[in-house]
Amino acid sequence: MKVTQLECLCLILLHLLHTAGSESFEVLGPTDSIVAVAGEDIILPCYLKPNISAEDMTVDWLNLDFLDGRVFRYQNSEIIRDDQIPSYRRRTSLFKEELWRGNTSLKLTRVQGTDEGHYKCLIQSKSWYDDITVQVLVKAVGSKPVVSIEGHREGGMGLLCETEGWHPEPELVWLDSKGVHLSAGPPEIDKDFKGFYRVKQHVIVQETDTNRFTCRVQQSQINEKMETDIHLPSE
């Protein structure tokens, strides 16, 4: 029986659809954000549906907040580190013994502030690919405020409050002995190399009946608050 060109083309398309369908998969992960505590280890879930083996696939984890954001790559049964973001070196791994059943989750150790962001888990076979995005939020409780006396200033006595090691960015507040907010200078904010916030703030106070003042650091997103009091001598 003679096969026409149209019939031949249809057979080829059916074969391609069957091949693609037989190797297709979904990449699944969490729908909610992952909240990570600084210094601890976390797992970013990612797995295939159906639970087919990913041992011969390419597994990419990318941080979408970086321009060249490769966090981890597994390809040709090897871990590729050439273009990995430096801050993730020696802190990322897959569960290689779980790849055969489609578990491509990433373990991230010693979480730091710069780890906060959106991560893409991208899985590629020879004929198919899919991906999901996971959001990571980092929580870090910093130091108790340190208050120091800067000396006489125009209008009163200068005080300085400093704190560090926070994530997200905290707020500093100066209070008098009755809990009334004092008018202070603008906060000076920066980050260390791990992405944790340092904040300091100056205030000029005038003599009161108690000469007691309080510096409070607070972070409402993680429901944390610390205070340090200082008592100034009347003279």
Per-residue pLDDT reduced to its tens digit, 206-226 = 988 899 999 999 999 999 999
Q: C-alpha dihedral over 13, 17, 20, 22, to 10 degrees? A: -130
Residues 123, 152, single domain; the answer is no
pTM for the full predicted model:
0.81
3-state secondary structure of 39: coil
Q: For residue 21, what pLDDT is reported?
A: 44
| Angle ∠(210,216,220) on CA atoms, nearest 5 | 145
What range defines the domain where residue 123 resides? Answer: 25-139
Q: Give percent above pLDDT 90 in the chain.
A: 82
Phi, psi of 111 (to 5 degrees): -55, 140
Q: For residue 31, what pLDDT is reported?
A: 92
Q: For residue 7, what pLDDT is reported?
A: 52
**Among 139, 173, 189, where does a domain finish?**
139
Per-residue pLDDT reduced to its tens digit, 72-92 = 999 999 999 888 999 999 999
Residue 193 CB contacts under 8 Å (≥ 6 apart), including other chains? none
Does residue 56 lie in a domain region?
Answer: yes
Does residue 17 lie in a domain region?
Answer: no
142-to-78, 81, 150, 231 alpha-carbon distances in Å = 39, 32, 23, 24
CATH of the domain at 223: 2.60.40.10
Q: Give percent above pLDDT 70 in the chain.
A: 90
**Among 105, 139, 173, where does a domain finish?**
139
Residue pair 156/172 in contact by the 8 Å Cβ criterion: no
- The structural domain count of the chain equals 2
**Among 108, 139, 170, where does a domain finish?**
139
- Once rounded to an integer, what is the mean pLDDT over residues 30-55? 96
DSSP 173-222: EEEETTSPBPP-PPPEEEE-TTS-EEEEEEEEE---SS-EEEEEEEETTT
Does residue 18 lie in a domain region?
Answer: no
